[in-house]
Amino acid sequence: MNFIRKIVKLKTKQNEGFYSDMKKLLNFTPKTIEYYQRAFTHRSLKKVDEKGIPINYERLEFLGDAMLGSIIASYLYKKVPNGTEGYLTQMRSKIVSREHLNELGKDLNLIRFVKSNITQENIGDNIHGNIFEALIGAIYLDRGYNYSKKFIYENVITPYVDIAKLEGKITSYKGLIIEWCQKKKKQYLFDIYEDTGNESIKHFSVKISIDGVMVAKGRATSKKKAEEQASKRVYFALQDEITKG
């Protein structure tokens, strides 16, 4: 019995600590702490409820993504009254890009709350953005739209959203290079191949050629990252030509 009491006491203390951390992080008092615990539960734990439904952050991530997108869209609609649909869509994409969401998650150090059977290095960098969106989903279920909006304004819009800077921000170098090549009627080729070398982790290399001339290379642990790295190098190699239109 004493052993059981100690376990219950320890669990209660841990819950109180998590509740206190959430209250400080959110800047308001959470009502249903279970939503937030779920927001930081990785699927590797294989937790399920009494109905066999998985308990992890993935469904909350879906919900948080929708809430974030709608609140950012509303902000931009009011902030830039003359913005076209295409302009507003592009600006929203820059704000909610995976890269930016990962930065937001890192700034809040959300990874410290994650419960997982996998080490952080093996989960991948996108975990930071995923749990940031899951946290927004938890806020929405717990306190509704206005509290979600408050959190997004305090942690995304007010500190980071600068319309003038966003207009000049490049979110996809690959997309920019392809668009420029198509506009200028240039032939482009992304030559992708596996390049493991002596490393245990699989790598991919990319060579980008324009009009038959190899301009830049990139190498990373995923095809997408390698393409983006190589495209960024192409951009800076041909920046004068590209920026002229």
- Give the per-residue pLDDT at 198: 66
Which one of the listed residues 103, 125, 133, 228 is annotated catalytic?
133
Q: How far is it, in rounded angstroms, from Cα 122 to Cα 98?
A: 18
The verdict on whether 133 is a catalytic residue reads yes
- Is there a contact between 113 and 33 (Cβ–Cβ < 8 Å)? no
Percent of the chain with pLDDT over 90: 58
Tell which wins on pLDDT, 87 or 200.
Answer: 87
Average of per-residue pLDDT across 124-141: 95
- Sketch out the chain's domains with CATH numbers: 2-167 (1.10.1520.10), 173-243 (3.30.160.20)
- Give the per-residue pLDDT at 195: 79
Percent of the chain with pLDDT over 70: 92
Judge whether residue 131 has pLDDT over 60.
yes
The verdict on whether 65 is a catalytic residue reads yes
For tokens 């190899």, name the residue.
Answer: 214
Tell which wins on pLDDT, 118 or 144.
Answer: 144
Convert the pLDDT of each residue in 221-243 to its tens digit: 888 889 989 998 988 898 888 87
- Give the per-residue pLDDT at 107: 94
- Give the per-residue pLDDT at 197: 67
Beta strands in the chain (DSSP E): 188-194, 204-210, 213-220
SS3 210: strand
Which one of the listed residues 21, 50, 61, 65 is annotated catalytic?
65
